[in-house]
Amino acid sequence: MATKKTKQTGKSSKTQAKAGKQGKKPVQKPAASRAKAVKKVPSIPTSPLIEVRNSPIHGRGVYAKTRIVKGGRVIEYLGDRVSHAEADRRYEIKDNDDGHTFLFIVDNRTVIDAGVGGNEARFINHGCSPNCETVTEDRRIFIEATRTMKPGEELCYDYQLVWESTDDPEDLKLYDCRCGAKNCRGTMLDPVPLDKAKQAAKAKKKTKAKTKPKPKTKPKPKTKTAARKKK
């Protein structure tokens, strides 16, 4: 039975964010899909490869206890699976100055709230030069290494939190990045706001439809008629 596996290309997320809107917090983007023939995807609720301890980036972080090879699946992102409406409702009661969120978007219907029943995966911090990425398979989220890591190295992936251009700039400051990478962009937010990305995609689709060449019709073959002989 084919199962969908999604990789976030250059985008690894933790909570597909709806940032800035009142009662809505940014969440990590869902990954792009690809099929893989697998009977059953094994769960990884905990991992001997990692440990949780204090992080210079933010609060607690996740560190490699042993060598983790590139492409290795580290752990599954677990938590309470709820609807988008329920996820928004839960964050309505949080303080406006609380930029911390454990929400991770699975698809249009489901969000994982790792604040309820979550595991070590929820402590993986954002990084602008990530060594991990998120993979969606069978509507479940897994963390995979994008390069080999040494023991003691902190795991991170690009949250690319979703936001809109109409969001309050003061609210968006809650998602400033302190990863310390040379290429740090200064924010955990996705570089392009969601509404602008949708507009660009719509315009591109419209332009493509206009410039699409019309199929050429083959000319009908001429039929020869035999001339009648005069009597």
SS3 letters across 42-106: CCCCCCCCEEEEECCCCCEEEEECCCECCCCEEEEECCEEECHHHHHHHHHCCCCCCCCCCEEEC
- Would you give per-residue pLDDT tens digits along the chain (231 residues)? 444 444 443 333 333 444 433 334 566 665 544 444 445 788 889 999 999 999 999 999 999 999 999 999 999 999 999 999 999 898 876 665 555 668 899 999 999 999 999 999 999 999 999 999 999 999 999 999 999 999 999 999 999 888 899 999 998 998 999 999 999 999 999 999 999 999 999 888 888 777 766 666 666 666 555 555 555
pLDDT of the residue at 23: 39
200 is a domain residue: no
pLDDT of the residue at 15: 39
pLDDT of the residue at 214: 65
pLDDT of the residue at 91: 80
Query: Cα–Cα distance between 91 and 51 in angstroms, integer?
Result: 28
pLDDT of the residue at 27: 63
pLDDT of the residue at 33: 46
pLDDT of the residue at 41: 80
Give the CA count within 13 Å in the CB-facing half-sphere of 226. 3
184 torsion bin: left (phi>0), alpha (psi -120 to 50), beta (else): beta
228 is a domain residue: no
174 is a domain residue: yes
218 is a domain residue: no
Could you report how far apart the first and last alpha carbons of the chain are, in Å? 78
pLDDT of the residue at 125: 95
Residue with tokens 């699976």: 81
Structural domain for 17, as ranges = 2-195
Query: Cα–Cα distance between 152 and 191 in angstroms, integer?
Result: 30
pLDDT of the residue at 213: 67
Q: Which two tokens stand for residue 63?
A: 């560190």
204 is a domain residue: no
pLDDT of the residue at 28: 64
What is this structure's pTM?
Answer: 0.73
* Number of domains into which the chain is organized: 1
**CATH assignment at residue 190:** 2.170.270.10
99 is a domain residue: yes
H-run or E-run covering 197: helix 194-211
206 is a domain residue: no
42 is a domain residue: yes
